Amino acid sequence: MTTKANSLPDEVDASAGERHPKPPVARRRPLEHVIHGDRRVDDYAWLREKTNPEVIAYLEAENAYTGAAMRSTTAFQEDLYQEMLGRILQTDLSVPYRLRGYLYFTRTEEGKQYPIHCRRRDVAAGGQDAPEEVLLELNELAKGYSFLGLGAFEVSEDNQFLAYATDTTGFRQFTLHVKDLQTGKLLSERIERLTTVAWAADNRTLFYTVEDEATKRSHRLYRHTLGALGPDTLLHEEKDERFRLGVERTRSSAFLLLTVESHTTNEVWYLRTDELSGFFRCIVPREDDHEYYADHHPGSLAGESGIFYIRTNSGGRNFRLVTASVAAPQRDNWREIVPHRPEVMLAGAEAFAGHLVLFEREAALPHLRVVDLDAAAGAGDALAASHRIAFDQPAYTAALGANHEFATATVRFQYESFVTPRSVFDYDVSTRERILRKQQPVLGVYNAVLYTSERIHATATDGTRVPLSIVYRRDTPRDASAPLLLYGYGSYGISVPVAFSSNRLSLLDRGVIFAVAHIRGGAELGKPWHDAGRMKHKRNTFTDFIAAAEHLIAHRYSAREKLVIEGGSAGGLLMGAVTNLRPDLFRLVICHVPFVDLLNTMLDAGLPLTVGEYEEWGNPHLREDYEYMKTYCPYTNLEHKSYPTILIKTSLNDSQVMYWEPAKYTAKLRTLKTDTNPLLLKTNMGAGHGGASGRYDYLREIAFDYAFLLSQLGIHN
């Protein structure tokens, strides 16, 4: 039952003007239900009522309390903001990429929050001295909004029309517009809840997917002709709530691919881009636990439609690569060209006219492998006709960059590490020469030699070796006296990149060590690494992280009283779980949009993402899954005991982890914690899952986090 009450006691004043404010206290309104015979009482379920003025008042009271608690750091926040801003080249250009006779790029201007999307004629296409064309001026589109997100950005093959989608709330609710790039005018098209879009060969037909309003699951594929007034043609509707849709055009421009996928299973449908009224055909119908992805190549021996390169885990969890003719793509006709390798995850395969680029993961490091298609055809062995692009740092991130053209002799890739700023290279696949097109400038006195990066391993309780990537200044002492920030995620098979951050220098230069724990649940060591940290193995994610923290302490990188941990979204669940398990191990916890109310959320099939997530966490409507999830759900397992200092950040319009999860978690923890350590909740009232969208606003959010972290460690300037 529920009872009517105010969200704050009358005696609580959390205003910014109070010298020593008391924390807000949310009223308890018990909501009881029984699942599998287990009586569950949720005192703070009422915080889900987003339109309830009492809910908004509670969030604003928490914001006021946080503001008051952080007032003493105001000047420090400003110093950190200016320091980080001073490292950024505010007026800048991206490296242009080629596409059908144009060079596309973005530029930023000092004082403006958002990039400006532009193009100009390519020199090679007679466009030397051609004027810049502004395609989208996001700063103009953002006027009147506190948030702006850009989704789809697709130019028609005749270069005349731009289909783009924007979100002005942070709720990942995108609206499609079409701009005539010759006249600069918007067409009448306006399609709500767009997720993906692709152009057909006639430059007048769009294929697009939309999301279900209630669950935000991409579930329908439509065909639309520019200027058409009638209803668009529905081509595909996915009824199974585990699956979502996405449509794209192959790099060869010959086919549209519709991928229908869950977390563990998918199928791919295909249609020629010139078959405007045709219907998609399926390469292989879905089978439980079979994932496969396709790319197209015109080929030379397989007929006019060419071949599909298919990356499939049918022969092993880490995927292999096969080919099949477009005319007969059934599994019986698959021909293996890259076998399954237990130690190497084949995470991607991209087809170009003369080569393939394979994205691989081995020993928790990414690799780019180039396959010469002519040589592979002659040898009958793709690996024998391939080579890896060499990288020599102990930990780094490498990935393909913007490679829109099919017929090209170069591959663009990005490389960075904890000490090397993001660098864009063009790589000649024949000569193996790499040309640095741009390294992101770091203004000021940055010298990479002053910093060192390491790759070490901790040992989990079951003997598993867990990789850690570490960076610090060379003059930082290794005697357990240095503060350390340990970051983790460990879900959905997502690998945490070893990326450069000029902002992070503000921590490193103050003696803070930064580390990433590449724990199970991610994909750093392939698909089995993900499998070992999901469903009934999820607790490995948490014990791996604890083992990483203990290893860093044992090897005197830091000490418990100076150990800070950080994670966001599913990484916020990690923060809540490990804090419940070992609150004594951490000095400070920073949670961004944390997924901390696992059981209540997963029991509600009407919420966005829930049903599709059963394959990651389990289905709590099944008793066995429920009992296991209950053992680690952060909100469920809060207890009367001491907790570290905690900062929790969320956004009111988050569509992935609803704001009420961190709000409920904070409210409940306030009633249970037996310590006097600060517990702060900060809600961005006009953003979504990723926080502020403007680059300056986002930088101020980081300055806030850093000021909190450093001041709690006794570092005030």
Please list, residue by residue across 660-694, b when 16 or more beta carbons sit within 10 angstroms of its beta carbon and e when fewer do: bbbbbbbbbbeeebeeebbbbbbbbebbbbbbbbb
Tell me, what DSSP letter sits at residue 383? T
- Examine the residue annotation and report whether 689 is marked as an active-site residue of this protein: yes
Cα separation of 283 and 261, whole Å?
Answer: 14
The pLDDT score that the predictor gives to residue 149 is: 97
With H, G, I as helix, E, B as strand and everything else as coil, classify residue 697.
helix
Which tokens sit at 430?
């024949």
Q: Which of 297, 355, 518, 689 is catalytic?
A: 689
The pLDDT score that the predictor gives to residue 130 is: 85
With H, G, I as helix, E, B as strand and everything else as coil, classify residue 573.
helix
With H, G, I as helix, E, B as strand and everything else as coil, classify residue 83.
helix
The pLDDT score that the predictor gives to residue 51 is: 95
Neighbours of 380 (CB within 10 A): 10
Which tokens sit at 23?
């924390």
Residue 266 contacts by C-beta under 8 Å, 6 or more apart in sequence? Answer: 243, 259, 260, 286, 290, 291, 292, 293
Please list, residue by residue across 327-359, b when 16 or more beta carbons sit within 10 angstroms of its beta carbon and e when fewer do: eebebeebeebbebbeebbbbbbbbbeebbbbb
Which tokens sit at 239?
């009824």
Neighbours of 462 (CB within 10 A): 10
Which tokens sit at 96?
């242009």
Cα separation of 35 and 31, whole Å?
Answer: 13
Asked whether the beta carbons of 661 and 601 are under 8 A apart, the reply is yes
Look up tokens 């002053």; give the residue: 450
* Closest by CA position to 149, among listed 691, 709, 705: 691
Cα separation of 128 and 507, whole Å?
Answer: 45
The pLDDT score that the predictor gives to residue 377 is: 85
Residue 501 contacts by C-beta under 8 Å, 6 or more apart in sequence? Answer: none
The number of residues in the chain equals 717
What percent of the residues of the chain are helix, what percent strand, and what percent coil, each to the nearest 5? Answer: 20, 35, 45
- Examine the residue annotation and report whether 469 is marked as an active-site residue of this protein: no
The pLDDT score that the predictor gives to residue 599 is: 97
pLDDT digits (tens, 9 = 90+) for 260-285: 999 999 999 999 999 999 999 999 99
In one-letter notation, the amino acid at residue 221 is L
The pLDDT score that the predictor gives to residue 526 is: 97
Asked whether the beta carbons of 515 and 546 are under 8 A apart, the reply is no
Neighbours of 52 (CB within 10 A): 13
With H, G, I as helix, E, B as strand and everything else as coil, classify residue 434.
strand
Asked whether the beta carbons of 533 and 527 are under 8 A apart, the reply is no
In one-letter notation, the amino acid at residue 717 is N
Cα separation of 112 and 123, whole Å?
Answer: 29
Cα 221-222-223 angle, rounded to 5 deg? 140
With H, G, I as helix, E, B as strand and everything else as coil, classify residue 670.
helix
The pLDDT score that the predictor gives to residue 608 is: 87
Q: Which of 417, 654, 693, 705 is catalytic?
A: 654
Q: Please compute, for residue 651, the number of CA atoms within 13 A of its CA located in the half-sphere on the CB side.
A: 25
Q: Which of 491, 502, 569, 655 is catalytic?
A: 569
Cα separation of 139 and 696, whole Å?
Answer: 13
Where do the H-state alpha helices sit in 437-555?
505-508, 527-531, 539-554
* Closest by CA position to 577, among listed 593, 561, 594: 594
Look up tokens 């530029």; give the residue: 107
Which tokens sit at 376?
């592979």
With a cut of 70, which residues of the chain have pLDDT below it?
Answer: 1-20, 125-129, 300-304
Residue 278 contacts by C-beta under 8 Å, 6 or more apart in sequence? Answer: 271, 272
Cα separation of 611 and 603, whole Å?
Answer: 9
Cβ-in-10-Å burial (0-12, 13-18, 19+) of 129 comes to exposed
Asked whether the beta carbons of 654 and 569 are under 8 A apart, the reply is no
The pLDDT score that the predictor gives to residue 128 is: 62
